[in-house]
Amino acid sequence: MQIGKICLRHGLILAPMAGYTDHATRAVSHACGAEYTVTEMVSAKAICYGDRKTPVLARIFPEDGPCAVQIFGSDPEYMAEAAVRLSEGMAGGEKPAAVDINAGCPVPKVTGNQEGSALMRAPGQLYRIVQAICTRIKIPVTVKIRAGWDDAHRNAPEVARAAEAGGASAVAVHGRTRDAMYAGHADWAIIGAVKKAVSIPVIGNGDVTDVASALLLLRESGADGIMIGRGALGNPYIFREIGAALEGRPVVPATPEELYSMACRQLMLRAAEKGEASAVRESRKLLAWYLRGFPTASAARARIYAAESLSEMQAALAVLLQKDAWKDAAPRAF
C-alpha cells in the first residue's frame, strides 16, 4: 500500500497509543518489522500556544522508521497551524512522514471538547479540518476514525468519504464505536464498508493479536493494511510474524531470548531519552505486557512494579529466560 509517496510492502503499522507509543516503543516495533509508526497524539492547541512539554511527544528519531505525528483538536485553523509547525520539524529530530488526525480517541476529556471521536458526529467539521491542513502542508495527511459514535450511528463510511474529499491520503478504521471504548469485539465488516466507500487506502484496526487474526481481518475487510495497537505491546515481533505469513514464509515465534533482549532495549532507549528514574517509572506498565501468558506472571509483574532501578527492572525481566516455565504458556508456546 502507499501513503502519499511512502510505499509499504504489507502495510504493517504500529497504532498510536497515548502513554505507550513513545520513541522506545516505536523503535523496537520498527526493528521487529513494523513498516510505519505513529506518535502519541498531541494537542494542536498546545502546539500553537507554545507549550514546552507537548513537542517532546512529537519528537521523531531515525530508529522509528517512517513515522507520522498524530494531532487532535476540533478547530481547523489550530489544527492546520499545528500541522505546519510539526511538519517543519519544530519538535526536533526527524521531520514526520505524515500528519495523522485523531478522530478516534474515545476518552471523555477529549470528546468533551468535541475532539477525537466526537468528530465522528461531525463529518463536515472533519472535512474542513482535513482540507485546512492539506492546503498548508506538503506531506500526506491521514485520518484515524472509529466505526461510529454508537451503535445507532455507525457512520464510518460517511466520515471516511468526508476525509477523502478534504484531501486525506489514507484512513485507518478502528472497528469499535466510541461508546464501546475498547470492550467487546471489533467489527471488521465496517472496515470493509469503508473500503468500498473510498478510493484511498484503508487500514484496518482492532483485535489483531496474532498472525491468524491479521489474516482474517484482511480477508474479511479487504483492507490495504493493518494497524496494530495492544496486540504489539509485549510482543513487537508480531509484525515480523505477520510479514512472514504474508510472504508465504515460515512463521517463527519470538524466542524467550529475543523477548528479553527487546524488552531490555525498550527500557534502555527510554532511559537514554528520559533518564533512569523516569524510564523505570514509565516502563512498569508497558514491560509487564511482555509477561502475558507466563505461568508466574503475577509474581514477575510484582517485581517489575517494585523495581526502582534499571538493573532491578532487568533482573525482573530475566524471568523471560526461564524456558522451561514457558511450556504451559498458551499465548507463546516455545
Domain residue spans in the chain? Answer: 2-246, 256-328
More confident residue, 297 or 324: 297
CB 174 within 8 A of CB 145: yes
Average pLDDT over the chain, rounded to whole? 94
What does pTM read for this prediction? 0.94
- The Cα-based distances of 234 to 36, 125, 228, 230, 270 in angstroms read 18, 37, 12, 9, 15
Q: Are strands 98-103 and 141-148 parallel, antiparallel or unpaired?
A: parallel
Confidence of residue 331 (pLDDT cuts 50, 70, 90): low
Average pLDDT of span 75-90: 96
What is the per-residue pLDDT for 244?
98
Annotated catalytic sites, by residue?
Answer: 105
Supply the DSSP symbol for 96.
P
Q: Are strands 37-43 and 141-148 parallel, antiparallel or unpaired?
A: unpaired
Average pLDDT of span 282-290: 91
Q: What is the residue-wise DSSP string for 260-279?
A: HHHHHHHHHHHHHHH-HHHH
CB 63 within 8 A of CB 36: no
- Does the pLDDT value for residue 54 go beyond 90? yes
What is the per-residue pLDDT for 326?
56
What is the per-residue pLDDT for 291?
86
What is the per-residue pLDDT for 242?
98
Q: For residue 138, how far is the Cα from the chain centroid? A: 23
What is the per-residue pLDDT for 292?
81
Report the alpha-carbon distance of residue 20 to residue 114 in Å, rounded: 24
- Does the pLDDT value for residue 92 go beyond 90? no
2-246 in CATH: which number? 3.20.20.70
- Whether 256-328 and 2-246 are alike in CATH topology: the answer is no
- Does the pLDDT value for residue 184 go beyond 80? yes
Average pLDDT of span 216-244: 97
What is the per-residue pLDDT for 329?
55
CATH class of 256-328: mainly alpha
Report the alpha-carbon distance of residue 158 to residue 230 in Å, rounded: 27
Lowest mean pLDDT among 56-65, 157-166, 290-299: 290-299
Percent of the chain with pLDDT over 70: 96
Of the candidates 188, 248, 174, which has an alpha carbon nearest to the alpha carbon of residue 218?
Answer: 188
* 3-class DSSP state of 32: coil
Residues 299-308: contacts with CB under 8 Å, at least 24 apart: 307/280, 308/280
What is the per-residue pLDDT for 295?
72
17 backbone dihedrals φ, ψ, rounded to 5°: -140, 120
Range list of β-strands (E), 132-177: 141-148, 170-177
Report the alpha-carbon distance of residue 218 to residue 199 in Å, rounded: 17
- Does the pLDDT value for residue 323 go beyond 70? no
Report the alpha-carbon distance of residue 1 to residue 58 in Å, rounded: 25
Strand partners, 227: 13, 205
- Does the pLDDT value for residue 333 go beyond 50? no
Instruction: Go through 233-269 and write b for each residue having 16 or more CB atoms within 10 A of its CB, e for each that does not.
Output: bbbbbbbbbbbebbeeeeeebbbbebbbbbbbebbbb
What is the per-residue pLDDT for 328?
54
